[in-house]
Amino acid sequence: MTKIGLTASLPEIDNRPDSVFVMHERSEKLIPFHRHTKGQLSYVEGGLAYITTENKTYVVPARHYFWIPQGLVHELRVGIFATALRSLYFYSADDHANEFYSKLGIYPASELLIQMINYTERWDERHLSNGDHNFEFLVAMKNMLPTLNKRSLPIMLPNTEHVLMQKIMKYIQDHIGQKLIIADISEHFAMSERSLSRLFQAQLHISFLQYVKTLRMITAIEMIVKTQKPIADIAFEVGYAAVASFSDTFYDFTSSRPSDLRRR
């Protein structure tokens, strides 16, 4: 059977509201803004994936999974060709049973969940619903999700259409390896520190320091996945003088060490 691809399959996802639709995709793709009436569980086998909503972009590293709640408009971009995106679109009738199903979240994947998701490849591009021999397996998978991880990883950058804020964000990105303090940034853009701090909160709903830290971690994740540079070099290139400090911050964001992500 010829695979039709995730983008072409979008209309098929909601055809049977009571089913689970299985879709395993191995390609570099941009799936434009869309929504579906089912909740989406996707496992990123290798590389990176990016989820963009109206005002945020989330980064999903390899061997992590994400849940997108039903009805949420989003764009999905698979970053490099080696990435395999394994997705299951679940019926939403019982989503009210747990708040997990109502929030977008990114989580490290356990070996158990990975094996369960891989097992579903035999049903690729198929709907399974009540009465199908293997449907209870998928029901059990959905029911276990809220028990696997209690905290979604904070690997997210806010977006804005504010022109000055975009210029400031671009400046920080271009100088990510340098020492970045709010006093220097505000002086560069002829603003007071107080005004710049307020601008971050008003436009991005995040502090200056948290934005810089998050951007550094996302840049580091991309470099670890896409290059063979030593971890120490990556730490320096994203603005850390000490590898230990970089590794600790990286762990706070991803629940793994930089070397663990590299091995994956």
Cβ neighbours for 161, distance < 8 A, ≥ 6 positions apart: none
- pLDDT the model gives residue 1: 46
Tell me the mean pLDDT per 10 residues along the chain, length 264.
64 93 84 94 90 92 93 89 85 96 94 96 95 94 93 89 95 96 96 96 94 95 90 96 95 89 78
For domain 156-263, the CATH class is: mainly alpha
Q: How many CA atoms lie within 13 Å of 139's alpha carbon, on the beta-carbon side?
A: 13
**What is the second-level CATH architecture of the domain 6-148?**
Sandwich (2.60)
**Domain boundaries in the chain?**
6-148, 156-263
- Are 180 and 131 in contact by the 8 Å Cβ rule? The answer is no
Q: What residue ranges in the chain does DSSP mark as E strands?
A: 20-25, 30-34, 39-44, 48-52, 56-61, 64-68, 74-78, 85-90, 105-108, 126-128, 156-158
